[in-house]
A and B are shown apart, each in its own frame.
Chain A
Amino acid sequence: MNSSISRRDLLRFAGGGVLGLLLSPLPWKVLDDSAIWTQNWPWIPEPSRGPITWSASTCSLCGAGCGVRVRSSNGHPVSLAGQAGHPMSAGTLCATGLLAHHLACHPSRVLQPIRITNGTERTAADMATIVAAIHAAHSASTSASPAIAVIDSRPGRAASRLLMELAHQWPSAAYGVAPQAGRARTDLIRKHFRTAVPEFAADIQHARLIVSFGAPLVDGWGTAATARTLLAETSAHPRPRLIQIEPVRSRTANVAETWIPVTPGTEHVCALAIAQAIIEGRRMKSAVRARAEDAAALAAFLHDLDLPPAVRRCGISDARILEIARSLSDEPASVVVASPAAPEEVQSAVLLLNLVAGTFFREGGLRPLPEIPGAARTTDARTLEDFDDHSLSVIILDESAAGADIPAAVFGQKLKPGSGIVVSLSPFAAPRPVPIQYVIPAAVWGERLTDVAGTSPAGEISVGLAMPVMPARPDTFDTAAFLGAVTGTSQPSTEEILRQRIAAIWSGRRGMVYDPSSPTLRPVHAFGGTDALWSVLQSGGCWIDGPRPAGSMPAFRFLPAGLAEHLTKRVAATKAATAPALALVITSDPLRRDQAFDATLMSKVRDESGLYLPCGSVAIHPTTAEAHNVGVGDDATLSINGTTLPVHIACDSSVPPGLVSAMDGDGPVALAQSKISDRSVGSVASATSAPSVIPVTLWKA
């Protein structure tokens, strides 16, 4: 027998094998399983599985104090929504707030102390080194002026008190605050009154007529509930009349009953002209005239200003001005508001108009705000600008709660040349123009307990607690922990200082408390004590206090010292100014109020849909584009006071010809991805001296 295997045998074996394989489950099962595999690629993340829980908290991204409902899976928040009955936000959250839980894993998040050199290079730093640098400045300080500035990005928090105490303990340190629009306005108001007056807020909730000089009322004015107040229409609450006086058609102008395009830089003239029309039309209320010390002087002043030539530059007809004057004096619940970003002459003129129209101390007008019991008074604190030039060795920035941006140039001006350092307590370290050397990692929303003090559209104030809803990162600090590390002493914890504040609210017995579990609003005195209040606030509730009782208007002056001169100068400047061929108008980006951070999903309304003008883009009228030989999507160069910036061109026929419209803010996501330069249109414009009219030139790149 021949035992060798022939080629034919092998083929037979293979043939049998193939048949056997086909009759076995192997090929079919492999096909089926591979198909399932392709539906669930292992590199695509899967949502975690686990118990779903609900909790309530307060948003602390800005100071509005919205109530948040948190849905968590496996103990980690997966989505946020408004608390339906919340007295501050009435169930609303803005787009930024809806993403608060994403900030903990932002690509720019810092989780250990870092040192920044040459503006962009980041290296790990040692906490001990930073503390030593601060101590060195402290011990080397000999002169009377402070060597360390402790700048609070959001004054009025419980933690603000700790920062002030550090300044008390260390003679070399001084407490300061980030610039606040509300504070500047309060200072202006106080000049009109001889007696001390509190802060005021516009009662948008009850106003029937609102004349707005560029105020972003539906776009970041308090909570998003303001937009609802303005747009909702029920028989109990008919839609208020909104007259928006603004150079470009903003979102607020778009929903306003009337949009009056005004030439940029002439808003103060327009406000003064309306005031004059009220006076000359003999429409000033007798109650106002009775309390005013200088009604005749005001009439003479306005007459001497010779407004008509200036008004012609506003681009608003006399009939319009008369109509607004008539409406303001006829409607008892009316108020005039200005954009917080408006220059001082506009703020002053708008206040003057409010005084003439008699909106102070009136429901639906400007109403006095109550004070928060136990809150440290920060209204008299200085800002970084108020420190002596080149006097500071260390600037400590507490940016653990986002606040107003400080212009980058101020830092260089205040620091000691060569040796001064800036230390920021911040959750993020995106590239920015501010010369920060060290970043200490701060906790973000949901990681640690913080407090939020807000103001509602009805002029109420509130205090709420942002509760921890996710595990805190081990090496992050809140203000209390950071100060403990700096001073080497044990500081009271955030919880202790918050409890003191709640105790002060309890002992004041003022206001109401919102309990999200019922949900009800009950007076403070109906609670058993501090502990009962504390537990309601911990469960996502808030304390709220309405505006002070209207009361009567104290005696006031229309023209405090210096105002007449200031306004005369500004009106004369308007008359004399030659209109630039092309002027820049900056609109603040409501989704990036203050330094609130863009979460990565914000790409949906920016890069992915263009709903918001992307950073680095400017909008111009098609005729302006044609005149400058640029088209939609073109790359162009914009020159602002000699600084040139690359920009993309977007055409928008609602932009007045001759204007260039841009959004403020760098868009930190884009910055982190190094898509654009750190010099945004907004940051360059804010460094210019005359913020009202910014002449620019534009040419195709």
Chain B
Amino acid sequence: MKSIRWFVAGFVVMMLFGWVIFPAILYTHEEQPLQFSHKVHSGETVGLPCQDCHRLSADGRFEGVPAIAKCAECHAEAIGSTADERLLVEEYVKKGREIPWLVYARGPQNASFPHASHLIGAGLACERCHGSQGTAESLPAFRRNRISGESQAIWGTSIAGFKMAEWDGMKMDDCARCHRERGVANTCLKCHK
């Protein structure tokens, strides 16, 4: 009995380490430079359409994160008195500096993702890959993989690689699966650059 006990103890300890502690230390926990509520901007309070900030330009490039000039259109002066609002106006808008957002969905430099082909060409909804960001109250912490340096959103929230939702995880396998299902070419340079 005793012999099994030690074996089980080792097993349990390492299982716990691999499943619980390892994921906690694998990813960093970085706060965004300031808080932002999609819900306030797109919901009833302001009511901006998503395209107001996240535009697809005529040449097919996706302008994902709006420039500070876009924020300045409304936030030339502080609206409200939160600390983040003050930070936005004083540090970024007035100084004309871009906000160093940590972009959750940014892929590695050797892959390209033409938004135009997917949104217009394939008719996919933004939520298909990004989830329902548009209704989020606040920005979650950005979690970067300490080994690969990529955002956690690429691998997905489950450490085992199980998809918790359709949009959870956008690995090469996920891209390839969708391409296969839709009969789109899966050649390397279709996505790699």
| Of A11-19, A205-213, A262-270, A489-497, the one with at least 4 CB within 8 A of chain B | A11-19
On whether the beta carbons of B22 and A25 are closer than 8 Å, the reply is yes
Q: How far is the CA of A30 from the CA of B63 in the complex (A)?
A: 33
- Shortest distance between the CB of B185 and any CB in chain A (Å): 22
- Shortest distance between the CB of A11 and any CB in chain B (Å): 8
On whether the beta carbons of B161 and A19 are closer than 8 Å, the reply is no
Out of B11, B110, B159, name the residue touching A16 (CB < 8 Å).
B11
Asked if B132 lies at the interface with its beta carbon under 8 angstroms from chain A, I say no
On whether the beta carbons of A33 and B145 are closer than 8 Å, the reply is yes
Q: Which A residues lie within 8 Å of B109 (CB)?
A: 40, 46-47
Query: Could you tell me how many residues of chain B have their Cβ less than 8 Å away from some Cβ of chain A?
Result: 33
- Shortest distance between the CB of B105 and any CB in chain A (Å): 13
Out of A14, A25, A33, name the residue touching B147 (CB < 8 Å).
A33
Out of A19, A36, A42, name the residue touching B108 (CB < 8 Å).
A36
Render B105-126 as a binary contact track against A, CB cut-off 8 A, 1 for contact.
Answer: 0001110000000000000000
Q: Is the interface of B mostly helix, strand, loop or mixed?
A: helix
On whether the beta carbons of B14 and A16 are closer than 8 Å, the reply is yes
- Which residues of chain A (1-29) have a CB below 8 Å from chain B? 8-10, 12-21, 23-26, 29
On whether the beta carbons of A42 and B10 are closer than 8 Å, the reply is no
On whether the beta carbons of A29 and B14 are closer than 8 Å, the reply is no
Q: How far is the CA of A29 from the CA of B24 in the complex (A)?
A: 13
- Shortest distance between the CB of B57 and any CB in chain A (Å): 8
Q: Which B residues lie within 8 Å of A13 (CB)?
A: 6-7, 9-10
Q: Which A residues lie within 8 Å of B108 (CB)?
A: 36, 39-40
Q: How far is the CA of A19 from the CA of B7 in the complex (A)?
A: 9
On whether the beta carbons of B149 and A17 are closer than 8 Å, the reply is no
- Shortest distance between the CB of B92 and any CB in chain A (Å): 16
Known: A25-B18, A40-B108, A40-B109. A12 touches B148 (CB 8 A): no
Render A221-256 as a binary contact track against B, CB cut-off 8 A, 1 for contact.
Answer: 000000000000000000000000000000000000
On whether the beta carbons of B14 and A20 are closer than 8 Å, the reply is yes
Asked if A37 lies at the interface with its beta carbon under 8 angstroms from chain B, I say yes
Q: Which A residues lie within 8 Å of B59 (CB)?
A: 52
Q: How far is the CA of A24 from the CA of B21 in the complex (A)?
A: 11
Q: Please report the number of residue pairs spanning A and B whose Cβ atoms sit closer than 8 angstroms.
A: 100
Asked if B61 lies at the interface with its beta carbon under 8 angstroms from chain A, I say yes
- Shortest distance between the CB of B191 and any CB in chain A (Å): 14
Tell which of A8, A36, A40, A51 has the most Cβ of chain B within 10 Å: A36
Out of B63, B148, B160, name the residue touching A33 (CB < 8 Å).
B148
On whether the beta carbons of A29 and B26 are closer than 8 Å, the reply is yes
- Which residues of chain A (44-83) have a CB below 8 Å from chain B? 46-47, 51-52
Q: Which A residues lie within 8 Å of B7 (CB)?
A: 12-13, 15-16
On whether the beta carbons of B148 and A25 are closer than 8 Å, the reply is no
Q: Which A residues lie within 8 Å of B82 (CB)?
A: none
Tell which of B2, B7, B13, B160 has the most Cβ of chain A within 10 Å: B7
Asked if A34 lies at the interface with its beta carbon under 8 angstroms from chain B, I say yes
Q: List 5 A-B contacts (CB under 8 A).
A: A16-B9, A20-B14, A29-B22, A33-B147, A40-B149
* Residue ranges of B at the interface with A (Cβ–Cβ < 8 Å): 2-3, 6-15, 17-19, 22-23, 26, 59, 61, 63, 67, 108-110, 145, 147-150, 159-161
Q: List 20 additional A-B contacts (Cβ < 8 Å) besides A16-B6, A17-B13, A37-B148.
A: A16-B12, A17-B11, A19-B14, A20-B18, A21-B14, A21-B15, A24-B14, A24-B15, A25-B19, A25-B22, A25-B23, A26-B17, A26-B22, A32-B148, A36-B108, A37-B149, A40-B108, A40-B110, A40-B149, A46-B109
* Residue ranges of A at the interface with B (Cβ–Cβ < 8 Å): 8-10, 12-21, 23-26, 29-30, 32-34, 36-37, 39-40, 42, 46-47, 51-52
